[in-house]
Amino acid sequence: MLTEVADGVLVHRSELLRNNSVVVRGRDGVLVVDAGITGAEMACLANDLNSLALPVAAGFSTHPDWDHVLWHPELGEAPRYGTARCAADLQALRSAADWRARVTEGLPPEIADDVPLDLFGLVTGLPAGTAQIPWDGPAVRVIEHPAHSPGHAALLVEESGVLAAGDMLSDVFVPMLGDFTDTSDPVEEYLAGLRALEGVADDVEVLVPGHGSAVAGADQVHARIDLDRAYLHALRDGRTPDDPRIGGIEPGWEWVGAIHEGQAAGFARWRGRRGGAG
């Protein structure tokens, strides 16, 4: 079901991981950001848009994780965009002969049979440095940053002050880091991403994270940035973060603690390879 969160901006939620799809009204259609995760939910979104006589004019994937790059035939054949790096990452994945098996292996088993992959990852990369979504609607600013995954971008609907944050600023997940490699420090990359979002926080009236609750008010945006930064500083310093999300926001979400434990162990190993630096 679509819920209006600001003038001309609606949200459709997937239940399992609390994914939020953002719909922005344009002149002759809508922009769909992160369309959803199951075929049934995306068909529901398409039906809701059809009932409102709102064709899909464009799509956007905030980053290349599987749950942000899905699409459904009933949403139509509008161009689907992402950053250049996001699109390149997806193209590299789809070029592998076993890409379907690799994607399927990472799906939650309870929905694996209802995740359509035919249109998975068919994203056109915007030229590097693109500042606005190319579509016939309100100005939507692209805020690219290095946090979480390759080519991640948040979108700011400037007219209504809605920030579609992708996998950032969640109230259900701790910051989820990228891979620990010898050439990158995902903690520092995530901190850089928070700084990018902090730079637009005062322009935000409604925050829509990729997972969790939509929150009104720039003060809440700053609060979530501060919470995420405190988590990352604790991880970097080898301390246990004082973060309510680690224990699970409610029964059934205790597994978020396992995400934290895996990241803490991964960062410790990475720092060890670098001789304790970091």
Residue 105 contacts by C-beta under 8 Å, 6 or more apart in sequence?
none
Domain membership flag for residue 278: no
pLDDT in tens, 63-104: 999 999 999 999 999 999 999 999 999 999 999 999 999 999
The pLDDT value given to residue 179: 80
Judged on CB neighbours under 10 Å (0-12, 13-18, 19+), 202 is exposed
Whole-number Å distance between alpha carbons of 40 and 114: 7
pLDDT in tens, 20-69: 999 999 999 999 999 999 999 999 999 999 999 999 999 999 999 999 99
Residue 1 pLDDT level (bands cut at 50, 70, 90): confident
Of the two residues 277 and 40, the one the predictor is more confident about is: 40
pLDDT of 276 > 70? The answer is no
Domain membership flag for residue 269: yes
Of the two residues 2 and 218, the one the predictor is more confident about is: 2
Domain membership flag for residue 107: yes
Domain membership flag for residue 131: yes
Residue range of the domain that includes 231? 2-273
Q: What is the mean pLDDT of residues 256-269?
A: 93
Cβ contact 238:152 at 8 Å:
no
Domain membership flag for residue 179: yes
Domain membership flag for residue 176: yes
pLDDT in tens, 4-18: 999 999 999 998 999
Percent of the chain with pLDDT over 90: 86
Domain membership flag for residue 205: yes
Cα angle value 191/241/218 (rounded, 5°): 50
pLDDT of 143 > 70? The answer is yes
Give the chain's domain count. Answer: 1
Domain membership flag for residue 110: yes
Q: What is the pTM of this model?
A: 0.95
CATH number at residue 142: 3.60.15.10
Q: What is the mean pLDDT of residues 202-212?
A: 96
Cβ contact 147:137 at 8 Å:
no
Amino acid at 267: F
Whole-number Å distance between alpha carbons of 22 and 231: 27
CA terminus-to-terminus distance, the chain: 45
Q: What is the mean pLDDT of residues 244-259?
A: 92
How high is the mean pLDDT of the chain?
94
The pLDDT value given to residue 215: 83
Number of neighbours of residue 1 by Cβ within 10 angstroms? 9
